[in-house]
Amino acid sequence: MIRTVFLLLVISLSGCTAIFGDTFHDRAQDYLDAETKDRMQPVEGQENLPIQDLYIIPEVTMTTASVIVLDEDGDFVVPGPKSLVLVDDEESMSLVESQGTALNPRLERDGAGTQVLRLNGHFAFAWTAVAEALAVSDYTLTDLNRSTGTYYITIYDPLAERPEKSFWQWLTNSNELGIEVGYLLRMNRSRLGVYLSLQKDTETLADDALAVSFLTDLQKLLVK
């Protein structure tokens, strides 16, 4: 009885291939025959929206793809990544110089009428690019907090009145205005990138004229 059951089990397993065809076919290389679909087109009225590839698939030649490395036991060996190629500093470009076009910085008004600077690209890339631009600007970057998307900067505000006169101002009866004032540059994520706004504090927007002036300067730095 046991021998009969064993024979039936062996026969049923051996017939799987005939019954199910290539169900158990090795599909590791099937992606090479995948078809490329046409790029999605924006709907009417949205033609100017920036479109970018999120996951870029590099070109793979059949020569490279057909080379399969096996170990001593005949198991497939996963190929390692290509080595990084270092270039001289003189020939390399800064992050802002090489990606200024990709960021496409542009001044806009949001739904509430607030002046903002919109950037294409992912948050991580835009965050680094803005930090690099601020570092070479005439503004002082005192601190930053990536988790909250905040740059802490100081800007000379010609309309700001000094809290109290210095000794020399008292002697000369000077009514000089304008001081270095701390502001927050906030980076927020949006559906198609990020946008920047200038604030006095976490609850108050900066003066509109000052925001336009500052964001315009930053825009110029990001496209250099």
pLDDT at 111: 87
- The whole-angstrom separation of Cα 195 and Cα 173 is 44
Gap between the Cα atoms of 135 and 5, Å rounded = 78
Question: What are the distances in angstroms from CA 175 to CA 162, 172, 178?
Answer: 9, 9, 10
Whether the pLDDT of residue 214 is over 80: the answer is yes
What is the tens place of the pLDDT at every residue in 121-137? Answer: 889 999 999 999 999 99
Q: Which of 38-52, 89-103, 173-187 has the highest mean pLDDT?
A: 173-187
**pTM assigned to the model:** 0.51
How would you classify residue 202: left for phi > 0, otherwise alpha for psi between -120 and 50, otherwise beta? alpha
pLDDT tens profile 149-206: 999 999 877 666 555 656 555 555 555 555 778 999 999 998 888 999 999 998 999 9
Confidence check: pLDDT of 10 > 90: no
Q: Which domains does the chain have, with CATH numbers?
A: 97-222 (3.30.310.170)
Q: What angle do CA 119, 121, 127 make, to 5 degrees?
A: 70
Confidence of residue 5 (pLDDT cuts 50, 70, 90): low
